[in-house]
Amino acid sequence: MLSTDTDILSAAEAWRDAGRGVALATVIETWGSAPRPVGSHLVIDQEGNFLGSVSGGCVEGAVIAEAADVIEDGRPRVLEFGVADETAWRVGLSCGGRIRVLVEPVA
């Protein structure tokens, strides 16, 4: 069962309030077939804990890895995964679509 937006945002707030570095990833655009709709969230803390989903498979691993950099330097990033990119199969986006994910620090 996927976590609700309320669960994910509550976790982000709780982790931040506990003094952890936190990043929030949000699907901001999809094209074609995509595993999660626009607005889907994944929250990640500095220890690598996460809750939610932006895609599934290895895409989430790539987003979690990028979130560590966002937490460290405080700069948001937009990531894109899709069929036009030869990495699509490697990161698990074999559904034939494309997604863009905003990863931003939670202040």
**Residue 107: closest CA among 37, 35, 28, 13:** 13
| The pLDDT of residue 83 | 58
pLDDT at 55: 87
- In one letter, which amino acid is 17? D
- Predicted model pTM: 0.85
> Please, is 83 exposed, middle or buried when counting C-beta atoms within 10 Å of its C-beta (0-12, 13-18, 19+)?
middle
Collapse the DSSP code of 9 into the 3-class scheme (helix H, G, I; strand E, B; otherwise coil) and give the result.
Answer: helix
Q: Average pLDDT for consecutive 10-residue bins of the chain (107 residues)?
A: 81 96 96 87 95 86 95 97 60 68 96
